[in-house]
Amino acid sequence: MGMKNRGVKNMSAARDILEILLKETQLEAEMKTMTVEQITAKFQNQAATAGYLLEFHLSDEDFFVDHQIFMNRHARYFAMPTHSHEFLELNYLLQGKCTQWIGQEKIQMKQGDLLMIDPGTGHSIDKLGEQDILINILIKSDAINTKVLQRMAQRHSLITDFLLTVGKKNSRHRPYLHFSTADNQRISTCLSYLLADYFGDETPKFEKVELWLLVILAELEDIMSSEAGELPFNKKVIDALEIIDSEYASITLEGLGKQLNFNKNYLSNLLKQETGLTFKEWLTKRRLQKAYDLLIGTDKPIGKIVAELGITSPSYFFKIFKNEYGETPNHIRKKMHRNKKL
């Protein structure tokens, strides 16, 4: 059953989405007939196949093909063993209750709660009941960049800090953020639209989904209270990253320092302290993100793309690209073209 009209126009449409999400999947039907031991063995086999023990790891390739966002309803009737992933995860409890564990910390989620989990963070989820609806919103780490932060730069908060250092080995923030949003009508409405645009039709409306996520992140900033001991993100760092974002082909550390009236050594140390990356590492990351976008979004020759990035050595580009994405530029472009033909 899908939504015939755009968006969520009334309560009936919202009930349609809920009805879709309550439908039992084949996996759930299978799990209902299995013992705890059988379920655990199933996950152990899956983890062993991937080269892990019981604590298994999920990679970008498991979920992202043509888009940087993937959503699904978390499977019910069995406990999810400890696992981690390469991407940012946002869990939304649409209905019911849910218990998650991050390390030894027990997190009780109630209806309307959102839980944002940093990549690489091991966590497990207790068994969900029939009426418990937990939505997994998975966001590729590369999608969390200064385009998002620029729109959130008016107020620098814990959430800005969290998003800017997603997946970095940086001790400035804890590995998750927990929000209670049930009483926030604006966020509830945005989440309803988000679910409708993703689950309401056979093909998700990804452009609208991305916009709703951006609005939701901004709204979460409004309800976050400052916590003792946490420092707001340095505005100069966001200014620096905005410049890198727009001048990635030609910017140098010395030139960036001059624009911001900073000594280049001080600026280099500040970037490393706040983001976990050096200037060169961040610039390389931005260039590779741009290269990826051009590869899948245009037919430009790879040599021309390399030149536009400001990289003078094609062999160096191929090396760092494969290190970042695990595949060559040619392979990624061919794969995207094949997917478009399907």
User: Which CATH number does the domain housing residue 323 bear?
Assistant: 1.10.10.60
Mark which of 194, 223, 252 sits at the end of a domain: 223
Task: Say if 105 falls within a structural domain.
Answer: yes
Q: Which domain holds residue 290?
A: 235-341
Q: Looking at the predicted structure, is the pLDDT value of residue 216 above 90?
A: no
Co-location of 117 and 22 in the same domain: yes
Average pLDDT value for the chain = 77
Co-location of 181 and 292 in the same domain: no
Structure confidence by residue, pLDDT tens digits, 156-172: 556 666 676 665 554 44
Q: Looking at the predicted structure, is the pLDDT value of residue 237 above 90?
A: no
Co-location of 217 and 253 in the same domain: no
Co-location of 307 and 159 in the same domain: no
Bigger pLDDT: 65 vs 254: 254
Proportion of the chain above pLDDT 90, given as a percent? 23
Q: Looking at the predicted structure, is the pLDDT value of residue 328 above 60?
A: yes
Range in 31-40, 274-283, 290-299, 303-312 with the lowest mean pLDDT: 31-40
Co-location of 288 and 189 in the same domain: no
Task: Say if 229 falls within a structural domain.
Answer: no
Mark which of 202, 223, 244 sits at the end of a domain: 223
Q: Given this model, what pLDDT does residue 143 score?
A: 62
Q: Is the dihedral of CA 62, 65, 71, 73 positive or negative?
A: negative
In angstroms, the CA 8 to CA 158 distance is 31
Task: Say if 6 falls within a structural domain.
Answer: no
Helix ranges (H only) for 60-166 are 146-151, 158-164
Co-location of 217 and 264 in the same domain: no
Task: Say if 62 falls within a structural domain.
Answer: yes
Instruction: Report which of 65, 66, 21 is spatially closest to residue 199, judged by C-alpha positions.
Output: 21
pLDDT level of residue 234 (50, 70, 90 thresholds): low
pTM of the complete model: 0.59
Instruction: Report which of 165, 67, 75 is spatially closest to residue 116, judged by C-alpha positions.
Output: 165
Task: Say if 1 falls within a structural domain.
Answer: no
Q: Looking at the predicted structure, is the pLDDT value of residue 299 above 60?
A: yes
Q: Looking at the predicted structure, is the pLDDT value of residue 88 above 80?
A: yes
Q: What is the per-residue burial (b if ≥16 Cβ within 10 Å, else e) of 278-307?
A: ebeebbbbbbbbbbbebbeeeeeebeebbe
Co-location of 211 and 277 in the same domain: no
Co-location of 335 and 273 in the same domain: yes
Q: Looking at the predicted structure, is the pLDDT value of residue 111 above 70?
A: yes
In angstroms, the CA 123 to CA 85 distance is 10
Co-location of 172 and 269 in the same domain: no
Co-location of 186 and 275 in the same domain: no
Task: Say if 3 falls within a structural domain.
Answer: no
Co-location of 134 and 256 in the same domain: no
Task: Say if 228 falls within a structural domain.
Answer: no
Co-location of 200 and 65 in the same domain: yes
Q: What's the N-to-C CA distance of the chain in angstroms?
A: 24
Mark which of 223, 251, 267 sits at the end of a domain: 223
CATH number, domain with residue 116: 2.60.120.280
Q: Given this model, what pLDDT does residue 230 score?
A: 42
Q: Given this model, what pLDDT does residue 231 score?
A: 41
Task: Say if 255 falls within a structural domain.
Answer: yes
Average pLDDT (105-129) is 90
Q: How many domains does the chain have?
A: 2
